[in-house]
């Protein structure tokens, strides 16, 4: 059986997650939520990478003061949205790593 293709706008981490999930589950009918989950994964990785490289604070143009990096507030929001999509797909119910064909969560 041919695996569904992921959304064209997915980047490396999201494409990898898509491939892993479609190999593990039958995702027919779940593609829109799965695509959003993978987009969230991409964006969350981007935010974490930038925060890791730039730090949690930024220096103002005057060079004398600092403030919280604007992406600091994005990370928990993206993470919460990712967890919500994960649960919507029933992936939080998976307990064993063995390949399992069927809808996510066994439904």
In the chain, domain spans: 12-106
How confident is the model over 80-93, as pLDDT tens digits? 999 999 999 988 88
Q: What is the mean pLDDT of the chain?
A: 86
Query: Does position 105 have pLDDT exceeding 80, yes or no?
Result: no
Strands 57-59 and 66-68: antiparallel
Query: How far is residue 12's CA from residue 27's CA, in Å, rounded to a whole number?
Result: 20
pTM: 0.79
Conformational region of residue 14, where left means phi above 0, alpha means psi within -120 to 50, and beta covers everything else = alpha
How confident is the model over 38-62, as pLDDT tens digits? 999 999 999 999 999 999 999 888 8
Query: How far is residue 39's CA from residue 17's CA, in Å, rounded to a whole number?
Result: 10
The residue that leads in pLDDT, 2 or 25, is 25
Tokens encoding 99? 């390949």
């Amino acid at each position: 059986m041919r695996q569904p293709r992921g959304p064209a706008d997915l980047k490396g981490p999201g494409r990898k997650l898509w491939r892993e999930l479609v190999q593990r589950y039958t995702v027919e009918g779940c593609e829109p939520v799965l695509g959003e989950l993978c987009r969230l994964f991409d964006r969350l990785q981007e935010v974490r990478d930038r925060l890791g490289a730039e730090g949690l604070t930024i220096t103002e143009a005057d060079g004398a003061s600092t403030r919280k990096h604007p992406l600091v507030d994005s990370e928990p929001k993206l993470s919460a949205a990712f967890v919500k999509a994960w649960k919507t797909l029933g992936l939080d119910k998976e307990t064993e790593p063995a390949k399992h064909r069927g809808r996510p969560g066994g439904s």
